[in-house]
Structure 1
Amino acid sequence: MAIVQNWLPPSREHWETVCYIWQFFPLITAAQWVLDWYPQGKTSIDSRFNIPGKIGWATMESAGFLTLSYIMYSLPGELGIEQLPWGNWIMAGCFVVHYLYRAVLAPLYLNPSMSPIHPFVWLLAFGFQIFNATSIGGWLAGYGPTTVQDWAGRYWAMEIGLVIWAWGLMANIFHDDDLRQIRRAADRKQRAEAEKLGKSPEGVDKVYMLPKNGLFKYVLHAHYLCEWIEWAGYWMIGGWNCHPARAFLVNEITTMLPRALQGKRWYEKKFGKDKVGSRKAVIPGLV
């Protein structure tokens, strides 16, 4: 049963419309190249409209894997497809695994704290997830490969892509946890000081330090780089002609690269250029 007729799950015509619009998403993110205003994370602002960080992050990011999952289980039946090939389910599984970590496990269980998110950022991220999940989900659920033969001859590329995806995900988690350790250390310190003074411990939403482990030795946003590697592997699994996976990677880079450059300026302003040193924003030795 369709949640929104011809849109969720999408008809082929509407799916193609979504894919066409989705390729222009970098035009929306272009503003980040000239503006430092980004009210989320370390650059969040005080606003009565702010959404609590953990709730905001979980709700905007969960839209993606929930939408893709629904399309995967509803669209094939509407198209008369009895069984999707295993390659489709591998790609769907990779997508869901990533966002179960990113949208549920990380914000709700692993992160000690998260800065508030402005509704404007929440809406853009929510839209990103809906468009991306519809694009990829439609391709996987019936508008892309529909038989095992469609994957034939590409098994070696799929295996390599899956390995790249898995290493990218693990590296992303590793570097995320390095950032979490900073918050945990700050939380322990604040709690100990508060206990000595007989006061309640303050939050650690705005505690930031320069990360130093792993690829953080070379770049300030190593977790961004690892996520790009992860989704490059994902595109490799789907193949060169998997335009939804390609659009996802391009849109991630064009969204996160100016954010990383903005973040480097923030680090330099807060800690000084001497402490930041020769570290680049996101790509070692380049940017």
Structure 2
Amino acid sequence: MAIMPGLLPPSRETWETACTLFKFFPVITAFQWVLDWYPQGKTSTESRFNISGKWGWATMESAGFMTLLYTMFTLPKELGLDSLPWGNWTMAGCFVIHYIYRAIISPLFLNPSMSPMHPLVWILAFTFQMFNGISIAGYLAGYGPTSDHDWAGRYWSMEIGLVMWAWGLLGNMFHEDDLREIRRAADRTQRREAEKQGKPAQSVDKVYMIPKNGLFQYVLYAHYLCEWIEWAGWWMIGGWNCIPARTFLVNEVATMLPRAVQGKRWYEKKFGKDKVGNRKAVIPGLV
């Protein structure tokens, strides 16, 4: 049953429009190259309009994979398709696995705390997820490959793509957990001190240090780099002509690269250039 006929699940016209418009998302994110104002995470600001970091992140990041799942189970019936190719489900599964970790497990169960975010960040991220979810879901649920024959002859590239995707996801998890450990360690220390003094423990929302493990030895945003590798592998699974996967990767880089460059300036301002050393923002030896 369609939640919003023509939109969820998307009609072909809606899907094609979403795919076209989503290609221009980097225009929206271009302001990050000239402004350091980004009211979320380590650069969040005090505002009466701020929303919970944990729940804000969970709700905005869940929109994409929920749209994908809903469309995968409804659109084929509307198009008269009895089943979808295994390659479609493989790509969908990879996408859902990533976002269950990123949108549910990470913010609600693993992160000790998260700084509040401004509603504008939530709106932009939710918009990103909806356009991305519709464009990918439409492709995988009936407007792209519709038979196993469409995937024939590409098995070796799919296998390489799956390996890249898996290692990228594991690298992302490893480096994000290294960031969490900084805050977990601070929380343990503050709780011990609070117990000794008989006072309530203070929040660790704004506790930051320069991470040093893994690829953090070379870049400050190693988790971003690993995520790009992950989605590059995912695009490889879908093939060169999988436009939604390519658009997703390009938009991720366009959104996260200026954010990483901003973040490097923030680290240098807070800890000093000598502490940051020769680390780049996100690509070793380059940026």
TM-score range, shorter chain: over 0.9
C-alpha displacement of 1:28: 0.2
Counterpart CA distance in 2 for 1:193 and 1:5 is 57
CA displacement, residues 212-262 of structure 1 (integer Å, 9 cap, x when unaligned) = 000000000000000000000000000000000000000000000000000
Counterpart CA distance in 2 for 1:133 and 1:94 is 13
Q: Which residue of 2 aligns with 1:260?
A: 260
Q: Which residue of 2 aligns with 1:139?
A: 139
Q: Map residues 1-150 of structure 1 onto 2, 5 A cutoff.
A: 1-150=1-150
Residue identity matched to 1:46: E
RMSD across aligned C-alpha pairs, in angstroms?
A: 0.4
CA displacement, residues 2-58 of structure 1 (integer Å, 9 cap, x when unaligned) = 111101101101100000000000000000000000000000001111111111100
Q: Map residues 176-215 of structure 1 onto 2, 5 A cutoff.
A: 176-215=176-215
Q: Map residues 165-176 of structure 1 onto 2, 5 A cutoff.
A: 165-176=165-176
Counterpart CA distance in 2 for 1:82 and 1:5 is 21
> What is the DSSP-based 3-state SS (H/G/I as helix, E as strand, rest coil) of the residue aligned with 2:120?
helix
Counterpart CA distance in 1 for 2:56 and 2:282 is 25
Counterpart CA distance in 2 for 1:80 and 1:41 is 45
Residue identity matched to 2:251: N
Residue identity matched to 2:106: A
Task: Give the TM-score normalised by the residue count of structure 1.
Answer: 1.00
C-alpha displacement of 1:98: 0.1
What 5-or-longer segments of structure 2 have no aligned partner?
none
C-alpha displacement of 1:197: 1.2
> What is the DSSP-based 3-state SS (H/G/I as helix, E as strand, rest coil) of the residue aligned with 2:132?
helix
Q: Which residue of 2 aligns with 1:241?
A: 241
C-alpha displacement of 1:205: 0.4
Percent identical residues? 76
Residue identity matched to 2:82: E
Residue identity matched to 1:236: M
Q: Which residue of 2 aligns with 1:271?
A: 271
Task: Give the TM-score normalised by the residue count of structure 2.
Answer: 1.00
CA displacement, residues 136-163 of structure 1 (integer Å, 9 cap, x when unaligned) = 0000000000000000000110010001
Residue identity matched to 1:123: I
Q: Could you list the structure 1 runs, at least 4 aligned residues long, displaced by more than 4 angstroms after superposition.
A: none
How many residues align? The count is 287
Counterpart CA distance in 1 for 2:135 and 2:24 is 13
Residue identity matched to 1:6: G
Counterpart CA distance in 2 for 1:113 and 1:222 is 20
> What is the DSSP-based 3-state SS (H/G/I as helix, E as strand, rest coil) of the residue aligned with 2:71?
helix
C-alpha displacement of 1:103: 0.2
Counterpart CA distance in 2 for 1:12 and 1:59 is 27
C-alpha displacement of 1:67: 0.6
Counterpart CA distance in 1 for 2:18 and 2:105 is 29
Counterpart CA distance in 1 for 2:76 and 2:62 is 22
> What is the DSSP-based 3-state SS (H/G/I as helix, E as strand, rest coil) of the residue aligned with 2:68?
helix
CA displacement, residues 65-104 of structure 1 (integer Å, 9 cap, x when unaligned) = 1010000000000000001000000000000000000000
What 5-or-longer segments of structure 1 have no aligned partner?
none
C-alpha displacement of 1:193: 1.1
Counterpart CA distance in 2 for 1:14 and 1:174 is 38
